[in-house]
Amino acid sequence: MSEGAIRMWVMSSQLGTVVVTGAAGRIGSAVRQQLRGDVRELVLVDRVAVHPLAPTERALQLDLADLDAVVAALAGADAVVHLAGLPDEAPLADLLDSNVLGAYHVLEAARRQEVGRVVLASSNRVTGFYRVGQVVAPDAPVRPDGFYGVSKVAVEALGRLYADKFGVSVVCLRIGSFEDEPAETRYLATWLSPRDGCGFIRAAITAPDVHFATAYAVSANTRGFWDTTAGARLGYLPVDNAESFADQVPGSDAPIDVAAFQGGAYTSAEYSLRHVASSPATGAYDQPS
């Protein structure tokens, strides 16, 4: 990395200039609230209008499909937290356009502007086809539970490429079920509280000496099935536990099926087939052979 990028981790208590894409989304809204008091400037990027709520905030309305606009948005940035994209199962073409191309443009803009750190929002669903009885570490082979998971695998691969080939410092966070409270039994294992989510993102921005890292961002859930040591190495230990809400979650007292898939309902064929283009001749879903 050139000397211009060495400004990267001379970030002390202040986080410098941080760009957040997808700033109008649920996670983006929580992140801006937590970071706005600790930055020199927080640049809020989204396709929809976002209104600054503090003197440190500046809003930009743009589409990540416009590479030139993304490059301009990252001028002078110390870090970018890339949260924009389609958040769930969708037609693969849409996911490639929004999630993969969007991440590529953010990484390429970060390379051109010599941004010190890129934090990419990946997903726990890149490993949804492991069994509940297994503890999965970030270096395990990916087993995505749908087209959305596939798009996040590609995002992680782009991050690795830009780290290895161009020296961009990249952290991929495999985000759990980001909710105010766990509302279903799967979330008792996968829940990520807003407090812990923001803690992981802050750690991903500030962790020193990172070439490339992948970590599960999940709360300290008693029933969890992901190895969280990579998150600890980034400098964050989660504090919330979904078990505190177990008595409010229907079915929480049922025996845990260790042979079930971690992705739960996301692993069903129907969950993805509804997004597969229908045949013009028959109207039927294309079926795998």
Catalytic sites, residue numbers: 148
Q: Among positive and negative, which fits the CA dihedral 231, 232, 235, 240?
A: positive
3-state SS, residue 269? helix
Return the residue matching tokens 């985000």: 175
- CB-based burial of residue 21 (10 Å sphere; 0-12 exposed, 13-18 middle, 19+ buried)? buried
Instruction: Select from 154, 133, 31, 187 the least CA-distant residue to 86.
Output: 154
The first and second tokens of residue 50, run together, are 């976002």
Q: CA 206, CA 185: separation in Å to the nearest integer?
A: 33
Give the amino acid at 217: A
User: Could you tell me if 191 and 239 are in contact, meaning their C-beta atoms sit under 8 angstroms apart?
Assistant: no
Q: CA 48, CA 216: separation in Å to the nearest integer?
A: 29
User: Could you tell me if 191 and 254 are in contact, meaning their C-beta atoms sit under 8 angstroms apart?
Assistant: no
Q: CA 76, CA 43: separation in Å to the nearest integer?
A: 11
Q: CA 92, CA 174: separation in Å to the nearest integer?
A: 20
